Amino acid sequence: MDVHLRNGVINALHLSAEGEADAEKAFFVADLSSVYRQHERWQKNLPEVEPFYAIKCNPDPYVLRLLAALGTGFDCASNGEINKVMALGVSPDRIIFANPCKATSFIRSSAKAGVDMMTFDNTDELHKVARTHPGAKLVVRILTDDSKSLCRLGLKFGAPLASVPALLVKARELGLNVVGVSFHVGSGCYDPNTFMDALMRARSAFDMGRDAGYKFTLLDIGGGFEDATFERMAAVINEAINVYFPNRKEEGLRIIAEPGRYYVSKAFNLATNIIARRAPPAADDSDLADPEHPSVMYYINDGVYGAFNCILFDHQTPTPFVLSLAGSFHVPQGLPLRASSVWGPTCDSLDCVCPVTPLPAALQVGDWLGFENMGAYTVCAASQFNGFEVSKVIYTTGTGPGAKEVRDALRQFEGDAQA
């Protein structure tokens, strides 16, 4: 990945030397073998849980193709997402429409497309489904504790357990088929133990289903998986599944999840060019030692209206590293540092990427800053505000573990699509 970031920068430097317009454009490097390795890791640690990738997190076409080729399912929240996945040849039974509050027209379209699995958490939704997709396989989304997550989704979705029996009675009255239970512990969950409590609540909802005359066969444990804590989270989930669903095999229970961030976060790095700088008059080193107060402002060519929308929407705090200094990738250690701030390219003062961070005092216009872990909730919500383009993606499979498998999977996928 590092090599590709550098190559991209070298190309840009080369082009700009030839006077090519916009050669300094920011760009992502996506390492598809990282996505592959996350999938392997998933299968190893959660062998009983089928991943349905949450495409909202990053609908990159190559990520989707790779995951389609690897056989994952997909969590879609809209017609647009469903169409995108189905255009890849994914069959509708590999899709869950995991938005509990859908436009009626979207439910109708999903009926036409054969997408039956969908979530709900309120009675109005049941009436809409009864009218437009009576054959749907409904999944009741319950509220769980999301207080240990960066993005709390319970503010908007999830039926409190106390309301579930009445919802199920209504579903029965309407002749609807409720097949299971889903929850989401919140995105960016930092306490693996949250899953223990969530699965306990899911168990209660299963019992409520039985009392209402249903035999649930689907458990959807949602998203919220983090790269750093994945193994610990998986251990808690496996234990909780054993505790609360001990007879799952005999009962034919299918367990799925909707991971987003886990699959793509670290697969994407971003290279940005310093397009402008506001600095104190030269040779004033009095501020070098003050780490709190930035004295240099750097302006880069992607910002919070672009890839860094993750600062506003996803509570992230991206930190730059120096990719190139004075045209060289050999950034010496121990350079004098200045407290600096990093800003996006738009004319809005909200567009601050990093309010204060130490950067080499020698850093100048034309140098490059890199940002790691930029694959989740970045490019998907980037806008073109102020006329700035969304940063493009360069793909690599790397040369390490997974590289060959990715190439084989994509080749096979292309072959299947043409057959």
Ligand X SMILES: Cc1ncc(COP(=O)(O)O)c(C=O)c1O
Q: Is 60 in the site for ligand X (CB under 6 A)?
A: no
Q: And the tokens for 89?
A: 């040849």
Q: Are 200 and 145 in contact (CB under 8 A)?
A: no
Q: Are 71 and 93 in contact (CB under 8 A)?
A: no
Query: What is the nearest approach in angstroms of ligand X to the Cβ of residue 54?
Result: 4
Q: Name which of 8 and 222 has its Cβ closer to ligand X.
A: 222
Helix ranges (H only) for 184-247 are: 194-211, 230-244
Q: Name which of 84 and 407 has its Cβ closer to ligand X.
A: 84
Q: Is 26 in the site for ligand X (CB under 6 A)?
A: no
Query: What is the nearest approach in angstroms of ligand X to the Cβ of residue 151?
Result: 6
Query: What is the nearest approach in angstroms of ligand X to the Cβ of residue 264?
Result: 9
Q: Rounded distance, CA 144 to CA 199, Å?
A: 9
> How many residues line the site for ligand X (CB under 6 A)?
17
Q: Indicate the DSSP class of residue 387.
A: G
Can you tell me which of 35, 142, 153, 379 binds ligand X, judged by CB under 6 A? 153
Instruction: Provide the β-strand partners of residue 140.
Output: 120, 181
Per-residue burial over 24-50, b = 16 or more CB atoms within 10 Å of its CB, e = otherwise: bbbbbbbbbbbbbbbbebbeebbeebb
Q: Is 223 in the site for ligand X (CB under 6 A)?
A: yes
Q: Are 232 and 197 in contact (CB under 8 A)?
A: no
Stretch of residues binding ligand X (CB under 6 A), selected from 54-62, 107-115, 122-130, 159-167: 54-62
CA distances from 166 to 123, 211, 216 (A): 9, 11, 16
Q: Name which of 5 and 76 has its Cβ closer to ligand X.
A: 76
Q: Is 222 in the site for ligand X (CB under 6 A)?
A: yes
Q: Name which of 183 and 299 has its Cβ closer to ligand X.
A: 183
Can you tell me which of 24, 75, 116, 367 binds ligand X, judged by CB under 6 A? 75
Strand, coil or helix: what is 289? coil
Active site residue 354: no
Q: Is 410 in the site for ligand X (CB under 6 A)?
A: no
- What's the number of CA atoms in the CB half-sphere (13 Å) around residue 311? 20
Q: Cα 120 from chain centroid?
A: 22
Can you tell me which of 9, 54, 68, 212 binds ligand X, judged by CB under 6 A? 54
Q: Tell me which of 347, 352, 354, 380 is the catalytic residue.
A: 347
Query: What is the nearest approach in angstroms of ligand X to the Cβ of residue 153?
Result: 6
Q: Is 24 in the site for ligand X (CB under 6 A)?
A: no
Q: Are 33 and 397 in contact (CB under 8 A)?
A: yes
Can you tell me which of 192, 224, 303, 360 binds ligand X, judged by CB under 6 A? 224
Q: And the tokens for 289?
A: 């030692």
Q: Rounded distance, CA 220 to CA 182, Å?
A: 4
Can you tell me which of 98, 164, 382, 393 binds ligand X, judged by CB under 6 A? 98
Q: Indicate the DSSP class of residue 142.
A: B
Q: Is 225 in the site for ligand X (CB under 6 A)?
A: yes
Q: Is 171 in the site for ligand X (CB under 6 A)?
A: no
Q: Is 260 in the site for ligand X (CB under 6 A)?
A: yes
Which of these, 107, 117, 108, lies nearest to 137 by C-alpha position?
Answer: 117
Query: What is the nearest approach in angstroms of ligand X to the Cβ of residue 209?
Result: 20
Q: Is 192 in the site for ligand X (CB under 6 A)?
A: no
Q: Is 1 in the site for ligand X (CB under 6 A)?
A: no
Q: Is 198 in the site for ligand X (CB under 6 A)?
A: no
Which of these, 90, 26, 37, lies nearest to 61 by C-alpha position?
Answer: 90
Residue number closest to ligand X, CB atom: 223
Q: Is 318 in the site for ligand X (CB under 6 A)?
A: no
Residues serving a catalytic function are: 347
Where on the chain is the footprint of ligand X (CB under 6 A)? 54, 56-57, 75, 98, 153, 184, 187, 222-225, 258-262
